[in-house]
Structure 1
Amino acid sequence: MPTASTEPRITLHPHARRVRVIIDGTLLADTTRTIELRERGYPPRQYLPREDVRMDLLTASATVTHCPFKGDAAYFSFGEHSDVAWSYEQPLEGMQAIAQHMAFDDRKMIVTEDSAE
């Protein structure tokens, strides 16, 4: 059995439940094709394929952050809500599966999960 020191810091898993992202009553995303990223010390995070996100409603922000395990994240805003989503445009080796996927700050919106239909 792996110990905390031998387990990978980050693991990626298919997520079969339906995920919807809503802010100010607007549906920004609806998918059953998320990738769940589990990073030691953090709650699981859903990464949604861009094809299932209303990218036309999001605008790129000037915010960029760096994670030594995933790479540089570009942020997106929705109306007056800044930096509600981010994406690793060119993730580091081992994280390529989250390229072209978006994660959302669930503190700023409603994220619902239902059983896959």
Structure 2
Amino acid sequence: MDAWFKEAAQGKDPHKRINVVDSPRPLRVEVNGVEVANTTKPRLLFEGSIPPRIYIPKDDCHMEFLKSTELTTHCPYKGNANYYTVQLPSGDKFDNIVWWYGEPSTSDAAGIKGYVSFYDTKVDLYLDGALQARP
């Protein structure tokens, strides 16, 4: 085999720890029926044997609903993560369900700088217009 492919992009060797690839598939994220993100430029982060995480450009998020929190966590492969709470116009709050890496700590993770990820167990993801089952 000469190359690895994930989605429509050529990926790196899957035996490396982190692999970020562009996806051509449209993605919409809703929380309680309210659209909080809509993109045609998602990136998938593959990390070892865990399920891939979808990252969305901040420019494609409704940032007015995302409120910074004090929570930070650390990943040895991606660096320090910061979090957002989603606060809807209805007043409903969903604490720390969005994270992002301001300065990824490895070159392998550099592709997610400026992107956010939502906990897919706490939001509705519509990929290619179809609601995805929550893990």
- Taking structure 1 as the reference length, what is the TM-score of the superposition? 0.90
Q: How many angstroms does 1:61 deviate by?
A: 1.1
Give unpaired runs (5+ residues) of structure 2: 2-13, 88-92, 130-135
**SS of alignment partner, residue 17 of structure 1:** coil
RMSD after superposition: 1.4
Give distance in 1, aligned partners of 2:29 and 2:84.
14
Give distance in 1, aligned partners of 2:86 and 2:80.
20
Q: Is 1:81–2:89 an aligned residue pair?
A: no
Instruction: Look up the match of 1:40.
Output: 48
1:29-108 alignment runs, 5 A limit: 29-79=37-87, 80-94=93-107, 95-108=109-122
Higher relative contact order (CA 8 A, sep 6+): 1
Q: How many angstroms does 1:41 deviate by?
A: 2.1
Give distance in 2, aligned partners of 1:83 and 1:104.
9
**SS of alignment partner, residue 59 of structure 2:** helix
Give unpaired runs (5+ residues) of structure 1: none
Moved over 4 A (4+): none
